[in-house]
Amino acid sequence: MITWSKDRAEAAQRILGSYPERRSAVMPLLYVAMAEYGYVSEQAMRDVAELTGLTPVQVSSVASFYTMYKREEVGRYLVSVCTSVSCHLLGGDDVLHAVEAETGVPHGETGPDGTFSVEHVECIGACGGAPAVQVNYELIEGVTPEKAVELCQWLNATEPDPLLGDEMQALFGGQRSFDWGPSESTGSKGPVPAFGPYSTAGTDRLAGP
């Protein structure tokens, strides 16, 4: 029995309707389920299995392949520090260590009070503005270790909701890769990618637990 909120249950049906084969909908549905439960719980995978006609283990095979499907509860702010080549060369590792030290959360983990999760990630497509950091998938470029510390303090103190990439960029960012681009910030309401208008999942109503 699926007990999702009405909006998400409807979104799930919409998603299912856009694929000729039910099982093809497994990935967008996992995001919706993740939004519902805050992470991809066992129940979330069972739900998606029910919706797609797969077995739960087939769903978990997909869910465990991709690191953006969080299979454990994530803190309110998911800080992802890029340590791929460009960022690594420009000090991404130092940024990561600064975040770890400030939050007290080693990468790959969530702090006991549930405020922060810290992870290091592979290239997030912002090499031109390396080192890059994301908070709940909202991007900040040109981050120094000092600015990263401030960023964490700011998150802790002001508890922004929604979280806007442009705002964080202005406060804590440096050199941007595409400063001529339009503002892409849609505002994140939680550590689950919202995808806004671009996603098969539809709207940002899906965000946040």
Partner 1 sequence: MSERVTITVDGIPLEVDAGELLIKAAEDNGTYIPRFCWHPRMKPVGMCRMCLVEVEGPRGILLTTSCNMPVSDGMVVHTESETVKKAQEGILEFLLINHPLDCPVCDRGGECPLQDQTLSHGPGESRFVEEKRHFEKPIPISDLVLLDRERCILCARCTRFSDEVSGDPLIEFQSRGNNTQVLTFPDEPFASYFSGNTVQICPVGALTSKPYRFRARPWDLEKTESTCPHCSVGCSIEVHTSQNEVIRYQGVDNDDVNWGWLCDKGRYSFESVNSAERLDTPLIRNASGQLEPASWPDAMEAAATGLASIVEAHGGNSVAGIGGARGSNESAYAFGKFMRTIIGTNHLDAQLGDGLDPHFLVGSTPRGVINDLDTAKTIVLWGPDLKEELPVLYLRVRHAAQQGAKLIVIHPRRTGLDDRATFKVVYKPGEGPALLNKLVEGDPGLAEVRAAINEGPVVGLVGRTGLTEDPRLAEAVAAFLRELPKATLMPLARRSNVYGALDMGVSPRLLPGRVSSASESGKAALREHWGSLPDDFGRDTIGIIDGLADGHLKGLVMMGSDPVRDVPSGNRAAEALSRAEFVVAIDTFLNDSAAAADVVFPALGFTEQEGTVTNLEGRVQKVTQAAPGPGQARPDWSILEDLAHRMGGSIGATSVNVLFKEIVTVAPAYRGLTWVDLEFGEGRDGLVMPLEEGDQPIQYVAVDPGLAPTKAPLALHSARTLYDDGVHTRFGPSLERLVGAPMAYLHPDDAARLGIPDGGEVDVETVQGSARVQVGFDPSLAPGTVFVPFNQGIGQNLGSAVEVKLEVVS
Answer for which of 63, 132, 143, 192 binds ligand FES (CB under 6 A) is: 132
Q: Is 55 in the site for partner 1 (CB under 8 A)?
A: yes
The SS3 call for residue 102 is: helix
164 near ligand FES, judged by CB under 6 A: no
Mask for 71-100, x = binds ligand FES (CB under 6 A)? -----------x-xxxx-------------
How crowded is residue 86: how many other Cβ atoms within 10 Å of its Cβ?
A: 17
Q: How many CB atoms lie within 10 A of CB 50?
A: 13
Quick check: 68 binds ligand FES (CB under 6 A)? no
For residue 153, the partner it binds in ligand FES, partner 1, none, with Cβ less than 5 to 8 A by kind, is none
Roughly how many angstroms between the first and final C-alpha of the chain, as a whole number? 19
Alpha helices in 104-202 (DSSP H): 145-158, 165-172
Q: Which of 57/157 has CB closer to partner 1?
A: 57
Residue 32 binds to ligand FES (criterion: CB under 6 A): no
Cα distance between residue 56 and residue 197, in whole Å: 29
For residues 172 and 166, is the Cβ–Cβ distance under 8 A? no
The token pair at 185 is 């910030």
Q: Quick one: what does residue 61 bind among partner 1, ligand FES, none, with the CB cut-off 5 to 8 Å set by partner type?
A: partner 1
Asked whether position 72 contacts partner 1 by CB under 8 A, the answer is no
Cβ-based nearer residue to ligand FES, 124 or 148? 124
Residue 44 to residues 3, 24, 33, 206, Cα–Cα distance (Å): 10, 17, 5, 14
The nearer residue to ligand FES, 33 or 81, going by C-beta atoms, is: 81
Given 12, 15, 33, 54, the residue binding partner 1 (CB under 8 A): 54
Q: Establish if 130 lies at the interface with ligand FES (CB under 6 A).
A: yes
Question: β-pairing, 77-82 with 133-135?
Answer: antiparallel
User: Does residue 123 interact with ligand FES by CB under 6 A?
Assistant: yes
The stretches of 82-164 forming alpha helices (DSSP H) are 85-89, 92-103, 145-158
Selection from partner 1, ligand FES, none that 180 binds (CB < 5 to 8 A by kind) is none
Residues that bind ligand FES (CB under 6 A): 82, 84-87, 123-127, 130, 132
